[in-house]
Each structure stands twice: as structure tokens, then as C-alpha cells.
Amino acid sequence: MTARLWSIAGAAAVLVLLVALPAFLREYSIALATKMLIFALFAMSLDLLLGYTGLASLGHAAYFGVAAYTVALLVVRAGVSSGLAFPAALAAAAVTGAVFAPLALRARGSYFLMITFALSQVVWSVAFGWRTLTNGDDGMPNVVRPNFGFSLDNTAAFYYFTLAVVGVATVLLVAIVRSPFGRALRGIRESESRMRALGFDVWRYQYVAFVLSAAFAGVAGALYAYYNRFVGPEYLYVIQSAEALIMVILGGAGTLIGPAVGAGVIVFLEDFISSLTQHWVLVLGVIYVLVTLFAPRGLIGLVNDARRRWSAK
């Protein structure tokens, strides 16, 4: 079988597994799987910007959190129907991205990292400090899940909803990175000056990538708001941005599937290890160090190396 057929078969197998999951897992695990899917999307959204366009952002939680807060504010404060809040949240995240992009794109490299960090911290401090609007540190509970004729309060039902949304988003992301636009992003990542010499308006491509990336992060953020039925400033905090970055790096930047796997692994490990020992943070730290040493291109890098050695035989 050709490599392409293997990929399709693999994707199909994963899809079947994901759909069949709730049948043989208990409720707690289904909820965990839902969380893994949400963060897989969050990580993939960052990968579009970091892995494909070459822009490392330490402020991605801003779009994640803005979407979540949009859901919470509309549903809890304005009484908007939860289902309608979803597209509004997506739009809010995209608009935030559109506003922040020109500011952040004044810099590259470490400075870009810093500006994105700064901008997201401003958003965080607004959410944290504006108690009358957001309840500040206490956060906003009572975020109702959407009702499309059937309730999503059931864990399995919400899992399927999340799977559908994340599935559609993933298909879109794959289409984007495989398109000529995606190829141009990679070219920009490799050499901005070369791309300009070839006639590309590099800034415009980076801008669009930024906004798309923010929009997808927003989808994840809205889903997370529904998942927890609660939104708090931690959604916006730099730790959340750093976690996303770690998920991408651990999984393997620039592959989409790597960050998805990285996110799944980290969410799973956080849960699993904390049930075994109170020193789960220590264990995670050790794992990160070990992965860096033995899989510097991420987990997917390991898989790719193994595949190359296999086909070289």
C-alpha cells in the first residue's frame, strides 16, 4: 500500500475509534476524552501560527479566553441562547486576532513572543480586574450548554458534539495547510526575504494566518466554556498560553497531528499522573525534559524517524 493509502486508513481507523469511544468508557473517561479533543484543537490552532508560519506566540490564550468569556457574558449576563453565543464567540476571537495582529507583527522572533505575551496579559488583567463585568477571580459559573433540540448535558452527547465540531475544524485546518496558501506560509517560515523576492506580500499572509489561528483557538475556547460550564481568568493567563506552546512543541511543531497528539498526551497525563501521585507536576517536568532529550522534534518526530528507518530497510 502506498503511503497515502496508509494515511487514509489510519485516519479512518482513528475516526472509528473516536466515534466508538463512549461505548466502552465510563463517564469520567468520556469527559476526559472530550477535554483532550478541545485542547487538541487549541494546540492545532497554535501550530498553524507557530509550526507553519514560524511565528511563536506566547499569547494564544487570549483568543481562547476571549471566546470563552464571550460565551459566558452573552449567556449569563445577556441571556442570549447558548447556541447563538457560539458563532459570536468565534467572531470575537477572530476580531481580537485581527486587532492584535498588526501590533504583534511589528516584531519577529523573541520580540514577537513578548508582544503576544504582553497583549494577552492586558486582556487577562481586564478579565481579572473588572469584577462587575466578569466577577474577576471568582469567575462566571452557570454557563449553559447549547440545546439544539436535545440537551448536551449528557457527557456522551457533549462528547459527540465536541467531536463533530473539532472534526470539522480539523478538516478545515488540514485543507488550509495543504493549500497553496499553506505552502506559502511554510515558505515564509523558511525565508521571508526569499518569499518577498518571489513577489509575495509576506505581511498579508502572516496577518491572515494570525486571524485564522485566533479563530480556531476561539472555537476551542467556546467549547471549553461549555465543557466546564464555567469561565475564569485562568482561561486567559500566560500559563494557558505556555501550556499550548508546550503541547505544540512536545507533539512536534508544523505537523498539525503532532500538536493534537501532544495536547492529548498532556491532558491525559495531567489527569492520570495526578491520580497516582501528588507530585504529578514533578513527573510532568521530568517527562518534558526527557522528551526534549530523546525527541527534540517532538513525539511525531520520533514516529517519522521510525517510519524513515522502516522504509529504508
Partner 1 sequence: MTWLIHILNGLAFGMLLFLLAAGLSLIYGLMRILNLTHGSFYLVGGYIGLTVMQFTGSFVLALIAAVVVVALIGAVIERFFLRRFHLDELPQTLVTFGFLFIFSDLSLWIWGGNPLMLNVPHIFQGSVPMGYYSYPYYRLFLIAVGFVVAGGLWWFQERTRLGTMLRAGVDDAEIARALGINVSLLFTLVFAAGAALAAFAGVLAGPVLSLYPGADFEVLIFAFVVVVVGGLGSLRGALAGALLVGIIDDFGKAFFPQFALFTVFVPMAVILVMRPTGLFGRQ
Partner 2 sequence: MTALTIDNVSKNFGGVAALSGISLDIESGERRVLLGPNGAGKTTLFHTISGNVVPSAGRIMLFGADITRLRPDRRARLGLARTFQITNLFPRLTVLESVLLALDGASGCGMRLVASPSNARVMDMQAHGLLERWGLAEASSRIVRTLSYGEQRQLEIALALAGKPRLLLLDEPTAGLSPAETRRVVAMVHELPRDMTIVMIEHDMDVAFELADRIAVMHLGRLIAEGDQAAIRSNQQVTDIYLGAE
Under rule CB under 8 A, residue 191 binds partner 2:
yes
Cβ–Cβ < 8 Å for 55, 112: yes
Interaction partner, residue 14 (partner 2, partner 1, none; CB < 5-8 Å by kind): none
| Residue choice 18, 80, 126, 181 for contact with partner 2 (CB under 8 A) | 181
Site size toward partner 2 (CB under 8 A) is 24
Q: How many angstroms from the chain centroid is the CA of residue 116?
A: 16
In the complex, the smallest distance separating the C-beta of residue 238 from partner 1, rounded to whole angstroms, is: 6
33 touches which of partner 1, partner 2, none (CB within 5 to 8 A by kind)? Answer: none
Nearest residue (CB) to partner 2, 187 versus 252: 187
Please state, in angstroms and as integers, the Cα–Cα distance from residue 187 to each residue in 120, 195, 197, 248, 300, following that order.
27, 7, 12, 20, 21
In whole angstroms, what is the distance from residue 112 CA to residue 109 CA? Answer: 5
Q: What span, in angstroms and rounded, lies between the C-alpha atoms of 62 and 124?
A: 7
131 or 183: whose CB is closer to partner 2?
Answer: 183
CA-to-CA distance for 160 and 148, rounded, in angstroms? 13
Contact 213/48 with Cβ under 8 angstroms?
yes
From the list partner 1, partner 2, none, which binds 281 (C-beta under 5 to 8 Å, kind-based)?
partner 1
Of 3-11, 70-78, 171-179, 270-278, the segment contacting partner 2 by CB under 8 A is 171-179
Contact residues toward partner 2 (CB under 8 A) are 175-176, 179-181, 183-184, 186-187, 190-191, 193-202, 204-205, 208
